[in-house]
Structure 1
Amino acid sequence: MLDTSTLERESRACEFLWVDLMPDPDVSMLNAVLDAYEVCRVRELHHVSSAIRLHAPPFVCFEVDDPDTRVFDSLMRVRNDHPELPVLVITGRDSIVVATWAVRLKVWDLLVKPVRHEELNETLSSIASIRRERDTAVVSNALSASSSSSGSQPCNRPGPPKRTLAAISHLHAHFACRISLETVAAACRLSPSQFCRVFRKDHNVSFCQYLLCFRMNRARELLERENMLVKEVAYAVGFTDLSYFTRSFKRHFGVCPAAYQEGTRRYAAG
């Protein structure tokens, strides 16, 4: 399992970032989806940038009844600093000004209240699914490049970036153990904050996402090839929380690990 550090908070505490600018948090639409997602809630605009840096969320949702200049400026800052980050805006004001800003800032979607819970869930699921597919593809490509570097490799074929190679080596050797951000950063002779920036620049994903994808792929292999209980697989790839492992596996592959294992056994038997 990940150490209780920035690395763990990034992976476990934030499936997305919700900027709740409602005067009363009890009326926020976030309350309708809290049971389905692990959300980082921000109530102040000046906390948005630091929350994005800390949690690296897959996407951001702004909920505000009546957007003003401060909200638009914050949205613009997010889009400029993180152009790859999808942004959903939920507002209670239906006006040409808001629509124009949404188009200009290239937000993912604009929902105007009243919004049905079904519509909100469909929108969140759509954004999460597309981001998950993109991130999985990016991480899988990075993992393939890293794996190929351990064998024979032509001299003209680029290997993994040298600045973070020590972290990748540590991950491959110790993925079943507790891994802290400080440990892998020190292995690369970088501070934790420097390491986060360098790793994301080199691999296009955070180290935490890379590690989670590696563990999920290893878990899938064990479920396919080994006669192991699901909890044994979870522990073998570095999880001590079985429920978190099950949720992570289902989000990653679209099916819970027990069902996946049963399906592979039936296929092999048939």
Structure 2
Amino acid sequence: MNDTATLERACCAREFLWADLMPDPGASMLNAVRDACEVCRVRELHDVSSAIRLHEPLFVCFEIDDPEARVFDFLMQVRNDHPELPVLVITGRDSTLVARWAMRLKVWDLLVKPVLHEELNETISSTAAITKERDAAVMSYTLSSSVSSSDPKSRNRTDPLKRTSAAITHLNAHFACRIDLESVAAVCGLSPSQFCRVFRKEHHVSFGQYVLCFRMNRARELLEHENMLVKEVAYSVGFNDLSYFTRSFKRHFGVCPAAYQAAARPVI
């Protein structure tokens, strides 16, 4: 199949990690893709962290039948320990709770069963390919989007109307506040799970990644031009956790915000 060939090209350099948390391993969707590329499969949550350190995978996929609090807690731990690692979630339950957690955890994509094999292969292939140039591609996209979003004439001239365009408008107006997935999805006339899928398809990044990069760009502008403390910048662009803001900024720009601000200010 063409999907399998594409998957092989995308994943040939490095394997990815599949956390199979299904009660019956025979029911896992990994059976549809594991021959297409190198996959490391783990069946227990406590094996995930060591597998990430050992294999340095392109990304991690969690397949969950019925999400539990302990699974969400562990996902949060993985995101905190490996913020640069894309995470896919495949779940058997379509609920607002799952979508909210996906947003909070900033997962790369959320798939709700039933999932066609072609859709799964396409998701894995695109995630593997995008991951290889993740930082440069995402930042370039966000920077150009920020410019076009602030210039309605330019946006209307270059971009077709998207189903999630209202979400970008909402983000421009409320990026300094808490962004509620359910509210943003409602603005676009979609359910939370539909919104996650459509936004990823239209913008080539998850909504969580888009929001993060949008805020990073705004923070950089403030550090360059405003006489503000780093913590004030963090709060003004929607971060409540200064340490998380610092880690995110350094991951995006290669330097901590305080050092960036010092370098950006003119020498007197």
* CA apart distance, 1:214: 1.1
* CA apart distance, 1:191: 1.1
The residue number in structure 2 matching 1:142 is 145
Point out the more displaced range, 39-48 or 17-26: 39-48
The residue number in structure 2 matching 1:184 is 184
The residue number in structure 2 matching 1:216 is 216
Superposed CA deviations along residues 69-128 of structure 1, whole A, max 9, x for unmatched, are xxxxxx998544432122xxxxxxxxxxxxxxxxxxxxx8xxxxxxxxxxxxxxxxxx96
Structure 1 residue ranges (4+ consecutive) displaced by more than 6 angstroms after TM superposition = 43-48
Are the counterparts in 2 of residues 231 and 242 from structure 1 also a CA contact under 8 Å? yes
Q: TM-score, normalised by structure 1?
A: 0.58
Superposed CA deviations along residues 111-158 of structure 1, whole A, max 9, x for unmatched, are xxxxxxxxxxxxxxxx96731112222232333332222xx4497x23
> Secondary structure, in 3 states, of the residue corresponding to 2:178?
coil
Find the aligned partners of 1:170 and 1:27 in 2 and give their Cα distance: 36
Are the counterparts in 2 of residues 145 and 160 from structure 1 also a CA contact under 8 Å? no
Are the counterparts in 2 of residues 200 and 207 from structure 1 also a CA contact under 8 Å? yes
Count of aligned pairs between the two proteins: 192
* CA apart distance, 1:42: 4.1
Percent identity (aligned): 51
Are the counterparts in 1 of residues 61 and 89 from structure 2 also a CA contact under 8 Å? no
Which has more radius of gyration? 1
Find the aligned partners of 2:194 and 2:214 in 1 and give their Cα distance: 22
Unmatched segments (≥5 aa) in structure 2: 1-15, 20-40, 68-87, 92-98, 110-116
Distance 1:153 1:254, change over 3 A: closer
Are the counterparts in 2 of residues 145 and 159 from structure 1 also a CA contact under 8 Å? no
Over the residues paired in the alignment, what is the CA RMSD in angstroms?
A: 3.9
Find the aligned partners of 1:260 and 1:192 in 2 and give their Cα distance: 36
Distance 1:30 1:188, change over 3 A: same
Are the counterparts in 2 of residues 223 and 257 from structure 1 also a CA contact under 8 Å? yes
* CA apart distance, 1:207: 1.6
Q: TM-score, normalised by structure 2?
A: 0.58
Q: What are the residue-to-residue correspondences of 1:243-258 with 2, within 5 Å?
A: 243-258=243-258
Distance 1:128 1:260, change over 3 A: farther
> Secondary structure, in 3 states, of the residue corresponding to 1:161?
coil
